[in-house]
Chains A and B, each alone.
Chain A
Amino acid sequence: MDDIGERYILYYLPGTNLEIPMGGVNPYTVVNTLVVMAVLWGLMYAATRRLSAVPNRGQAALEWVVGAFDNLVASSLEMDREKNRRFFPLITGMFLFLILANFLGFLPGPWFEEPTADLSTTLGLGILGVGIAVVCGIAAKGIWGYLEELLGPLWQQPGIAGKISALFFFPLNVVGEISKVLSISFRLFGNIVGSAVLLVVISHLVFYLVLPIGLLFFFVFFVGAIQAFVFAMLTLTYISVAIK
C-alpha cells in the first residue's frame, strides 16, 4: 500500500534516498508523451501538406477544429480577434495534445499508458496554465492591480473595514490560486486513472466478454474527450478572468 501512495504522490529516485514529490519521472510517460507529440505532428503535417481552396477530407476536419476553437477563444476573451490569437495556439494545442493523450489508452499493449495517467504531466500542464494566467494578469493590470485583486473585493471601499477585510481575503485568494492548480490537474489525472482501473477490473469480472468494448469506447473516447475539453476550457477561463 505504501508503494501505491508513493506511486502517485512520492517517488524515490532509483538507487538513492532522494524523494521526488508528486510522481517523479516515469519513463513510460516520457516515451508516450513523445509518441503523442509525433502523432499530433504527423496528423497536422498530413492535413496541411496539400492545401487547396476546395479542401480534402483531412484539411476540412482540421479547418473545422481550428475554426471552432478560434470562435471559442474569441468569444471567451472578447477583445479584438487579432489580439486573441495570442492565446489561441496555447488552448488549441493543449486540447489536441490532451485528447490524443487520453485516446492513447485505446491502443492495446502494456507499453501504451496515457501520459495523462501520470500526475507529473497533468500537474505540469496545470502549473503552466495557471502560471500563464497569472503572468497575463500582471501584464494586463500591473503588479499592483494584480495584488489589489488578491486583497479582495472590499479593498477599494472607503473606510477601515474594507482594509481589515483584506486580512481575510488575502490568504483565501492565495490558497485559491494554489488550489486552482491542484484541482485542474487532479481532475484530469483522477478521471483518466479511474477509467483505466475501472476498465481493467470490469473486464476481469466479466471474463473479457462483450461489455468491455462498449465501456472502452465510453471511457476512452467520451470521458477522455470531455476531460480534455474541460481542461482547456478551465485554462481559458482562468486566463480570461485574469486579464479583465
Chain B
Amino acid sequence: MEPQTLEAIGRIFGAGIAVGLGGIGAGIGMGMVAASGDEGLMRQPTQNNAMVRTMLIGQAVGGGTVSVFPLVIAILILFMPATDPEMVGGNFVATMIGAGLAIGLGSFGSGLGCGWPGATACDGVARNPRKITPITLRMVIGQAVAQSPTIFAMVIALLLLFTQQPGTDVVHIGIVLGAGLAIGAGALGPGIGSGIAAGGGITGIGKWPQNQDVTFRNMLVAQAVCQTPAIFGLLVAFVLFTRHAMEPGWTSLAQLLAAGIAAGFGGIGAGIGSGFAGETACEAIAARVRSENVILRTMLTGQAVSQTTAVYALVIALVVLYIV
C-alpha cells in the first residue's frame, strides 16, 4: 500500500478508537450525576441553586475532565507529523491504534467511575443542603483520585506517539499494541472501581457528616487499593518497552500481544470488584467509626483476595514474556 494511504488509515482508526471508546464512560457517568441531581430536586425543590451547583461541578470535574484526555490524544493522532512520511508502514498504523486503545479504554473506566461520587454527592446535598461545601470538596478529590488510571493511560499513549518508528517491524507492532492493551484495559476496571469506592465514601459523608474526616481518609485508602490492577498494567507496558531485542517473527508478536492482553483484561474484574468492597466499607466506617479498624482490615483482605486474578494475570504476562 502507499505510505499516504497507510498514514491516513492509522490516523483515522486511532482517532476514532480514542474518542469513540473514551466518550462512552464519561457520557454514562455525567448522566448518572444529572439523574441524581434531578432526584435531589424532587426531594428538596427549594434547594435549586445548591443542587445545580453540585451537579455541574460533579459533571465538569468527572466526565468533563476525563473526556478531555482522549480528545487531546485524538488531536495528536490526527495532526502529529510522521517522523518520516516516505517510510510510513505498519509500525505507524499500529502505534496510532495502540495509543487510541490505551486512552480510549483507559478513560472509559474513569469517566464511568466518576459518576458515582457525583451522584452520591447530589444525594448527600439533597439530604443535608447545609453540608454542601464539605461534600463537594471531598467529591472533587475523590473524582481526581479516580482519574489517576486515565493519567497512567495518557502517559503510555503519549510515549507511544512520541516514539513512532518508520517501516514495518513485527516486534514493534507487538510492543505498541500490547502496551496499549495492557494499560488501556488495565485502567478500565480500576477507574470504575475507584469511582464506586469514592461513591461509598461520599454517601457516608452525606449521611454522617460528623465523621467526615475518618470516612474521607478511608475512602482515599480504598480508592488507592482499587487501582493496583492499573498499576500492574502500567508496569507491563513499561516492561514491554524494554523488549525490542526479541527475535523478529510471529512468535514474538504473539508473546507481546498475549502479555498485554493478560495484564490488561485480567485487571478489569479485579478493579471493579475491589471497588464494591471499598464502597460498602466506606459506608460502614462512616456509620460505625469505632469499628474503623476491623472494617478496614476486612476491606483490605477482601480487596487483596479479589485482586488475586490481577496478580495471576501479571504473573502469566511476565511468564509469557520471559520464560516461554
Contact = CB atoms under 8 A, between A and B. Distances in A.
A222 B242 contact: no
Interface in A1-23: 1-2, 4-6, 8-10
Interface in A171-216: 172-173, 175-176, 179, 182-184, 186-187, 190-191, 193-195, 197-198, 201-202, 205
A183 B227 contact: yes
B9 interface: no
B130 interface: no
Contacts of B244: 1-2, 5
A1 B165 contact: yes
A4 to B, nearest CB: 5
B221 A234 contact: yes
Given A5-B241, A190-B234, A197 B154 contact: yes
B316 interface: no
Contacts of A175: 311, 315
A26 interface: no
Contacts, number: 123
Contact of B148 (A153, A187, A201, A229): A187
A78 interface: yes
Contacts of B238: 5, 8-9
B159 interface: yes
Nearest to A78: B293
Chain A interface residue bracket vs B: 35 or more
B228 interface: yes
B72 A205 contact: yes
Contact of A234 (B224, B234, B305, B311): B224
A1 B172 CA distance: 9
A226 B141 contact: yes
Nearest to B217: A233
A76 interface: yes
B241 A1 contact: yes
Interface stretch (B31-39, B52-60, B201-209, B294-302): B294-302
B92 interface: no
A10 B242 contact: yes
Contact of A2 (B72, B152, B242): B242
Given A172-B305, A197-B159, 8 more contacts: A2-B242, A2-B245, A9-B238, A201-B76, A226-B220, A230-B221, A233-B221, A240-B296
Q: Which 5 A-B pairs have CB atoms at the shortest separation, nearest pair first?
A: A5-B241, A5-B242, A194-B151, A1-B163, A183-B228
Interface of A: 1-2, 4-6, 8-10, 72, 75-76, 78, 153, 172-173, 175-176, 179, 182-184, 186-187, 190-191, 193-195, 197-198, 201-202, 205, 222-223, 226-227, 229-230, 233-234, 237, 240-241, 244
